[in-house]
Amino acid sequence: MKKIIFPLLALVLLATGCRKDPDIINYYTGSEVRTAYYTVHDNQWMSNGDFYFVDCENPDITRAVLENGAVVACVWNADNWYDLPYVYPMETSAGVVVPENVRFQYREGMVTIVMQDMDGYLPDEVYGDMTFKVSVIRP
């Protein structure tokens, strides 16, 4: 009897415990992609004590984008674009190359680029310009 009860109980739990919601697919005609380029100079980075950041205005990020669109960001390094988040090989003032985590976050009208040491500490000062590409997919 126990051999039958446990498989039946497992079957009941599997059938009732977790249900997949139906897929929600939004079909938009006429979606557009708007791309902005930002060159951040070394003196533009601000610090909060744990990481460096820079705010970049982007009026293409609207409430509609936040709810139904998407934002993608890349950083230019050498000869290629790299999607964020990216581990950027940053040269320090001592000439040593260290890995820096570069990521982004966004809100209505604004993109914030963040740079932080992989160990969570404030990186060395940023030297030179960095170029970022932010693409906004508008529904």
Secondary structure of 20-67 in HEC code, one letter for each residue: CCCCCCCCCCCCEEEEEEEEECHHHCEECCCCEEEEEECCCCCHHHHH
Give the containing element (helix H, strand E) for 17.
helix 2-17
User: How far is CA 134 from its chain centroid?
Assistant: 11
What is the mean predicted confidence (pLDDT) over 109-136? 84
pTM of the full predicted structure?
A: 0.73
- pLDDT reported for residue 73: 97
Within a 10 A sphere around the Cβ of 130, how many other Cβ atoms?
A: 22
131 token code pair: 């170029």
What is the mean predicted confidence (pLDDT) over 95-108? 88
Amino acid, single-letter form, for residue 9? L
In terms of residues, how long is the chain?
139
Q: Which tens digit of pLDDT belongs to each residue from 27-52? A: 656 778 999 999 999 899 998 888 89
pLDDT band, residue 13 (cuts 50/70/90): very low
pLDDT band, residue 23 (cuts 50/70/90): low
- Is the pLDDT at 9 greater than 80? The verdict is no
- Report DSSP state, residue 89: E
pLDDT band, residue 1 (cuts 50/70/90): low
Domain residue limits, the chain: 31-138
Residues 34 and 62 sit within 8 Å (Cβ to Cβ): no
The average confidence (pLDDT) of the chain is 81
Q: Which tens digit of pLDDT belongs to each residue from 50-95? A: 889 999 999 999 999 999 999 999 999 889 999 999 988 877 777 7
Residue found under tokens 């205005």? 57
Q: How far is CA 57 from CA 11, 15, 54, 109, 130, in A?
A: 53, 49, 10, 6, 16
